[in-house]
Amino acid sequence: MGTQMKHKIVCAGTVLLFLFSCSNQKNSVINSDVIDIEHALHNLTRLKVSDFGQTIRYIPLETPDEGLVGRNPVIKVLRNYIVIESQQSCLLFDKKDGSFIAEIGRIGQGPEEFTEVFSWTDEKEEFLYFKRAPNSLIKFNMKGNFSGKVSFSSPPGLASYYMLMDSEIIGYFNEMNTTRQYALGFFDHEGILKDTIPSFSPHPIIPDQIANIFMFRNTNLYGILGLAGIIIVNYKNDTRQIIAPNAARLWRNNETIRFKEEFVDTIYAVSGSQLIPYVTFNTGKYHWPIDKSSNAENTKELIYIADVSENNTFVFFQCIRGMLSDEPVLYNGLYHKQTGETKLGKNSDGIEDDLTRFMPFTPLGISTSGEFVSLVEVWEVLEWLENHPEVLNNEKLSFLKELNEDMNPIVILVE
């Protein structure tokens, strides 16, 4: 490790030494600095909606001809807006009542068109930014009007994920960036690189070692990680790598920016251009070493932390046991930041809605206001209602009486 990395990870050695000592103790005492997956795996529970919050809100999205949501949508809930990305469109809805606001931009090769339907918002949530290959982010206001662009120097070109702050832009460069020399790049709003933080990951993808590549979406196996698309890279030496290009490795909780790199068990706070250890996942005997991240052999029992989000009370995460095996197992986890308790349940068991007795809750992350977010297709609801007609008498679920199969999805918020 170079002096730059040593300089930028504050007190990491002390924290890791402390965590190592904890991992060799019996788990009779919960440590508030550790998300104890190893212990939780031996004490699985079926999670309930009341574990996530005490209120639940249903928002049927308006269904105008110009605002039809496509298949396999990706949802992002902001303070005032709901963003739905699917296929070749990005649609904006009002968070208060689900009314349609506008289609934001369009995919294409024109100067005001983006090359990927995946967006990020700025700190004030006034704009949405999209990639415009080869080296720009273009932005639109919340009425769908083109509002400018940021062009980045090449290299490094475009990052895989962005955090857009008032003072700077932070880009995360994953293994798909074949020329990357660092994990995080700090840019001004003119796209000029100002500082970097090196990557923990040993190597990026090397194209001439690839045997084949598959791209697909599979939320049943990979959960939130698979929602925006999974890339499986098979190498000539019989190793395999699974990459989610749009996975959220950067997020913000209040004024603090967090960062977690793939196959690294520590969540860091980003302070300036320094990484400060915040909390660590203890996977114990299920730990998956970063230097074996592409080795499928003897990894069926190992745990990969797939997705992380956070609000003031919880860290929500999904982890996968045996990610590179033929039978991966997906888990949902909740870490209570005040008590240090970690709860873990199999995704296949579902999350019981014990508040309104609606269909099982499927969390897809946390909104910028701190609500847990889910989205359900109307055809799924209608199918479920055939076996649960009694819920139509629940006043909290009165919207169910108005559904038809041609309607847009329903957004669910829990807090």
Average pLDDT value for the chain:
88
Q: What is the pLDDT of residue 27?
A: 33
pLDDT category at 1 given cuts 50, 70, 90 is very low
**CATH number, domain 3-414:** 2.130.10
| 376 has pLDDT over 70 | yes
- pLDDT tens, 392-411? 999 999 999 999 999 999 99
Which sequence spans correspond to the domains of the chain? Answer: 3-414
pLDDT at 218: 67
> Comparing 189 with 216, which gets the higher pLDDT?
189
Q: Is the pLDDT of residue 258 over 50?
A: yes
Report which of 51, 134, 25, 42 is spatially closest to residue 363, judged by C-alpha positions: 51
In the predicted model, is pLDDT for residue 341 greater than 80? yes
**pLDDT for 40 beyond 70:** yes
Residue 8 has pLDDT above 60, yes or no: no
Structure confidence by residue, pLDDT tens digits, 313-335: 999 999 999 988 889 999 999 99
At residue 6 the predicted structure's pLDDT band, cuts being 50, 70 and 90, is very low
Residue percentage of the chain with pLDDT more than 90: 70
pLDDT confidence of residue 262 = 87
Task: Kindly state the average pLDDT of the residues 270-298.
Answer: 91
The whole-number average pLDDT for the span 221-237 is 86
User: What integer pLDDT is reported at residue 155 of this predicted model?
Assistant: 75
The CA-based angle 376-388-409, given to 5 degrees, is: 15
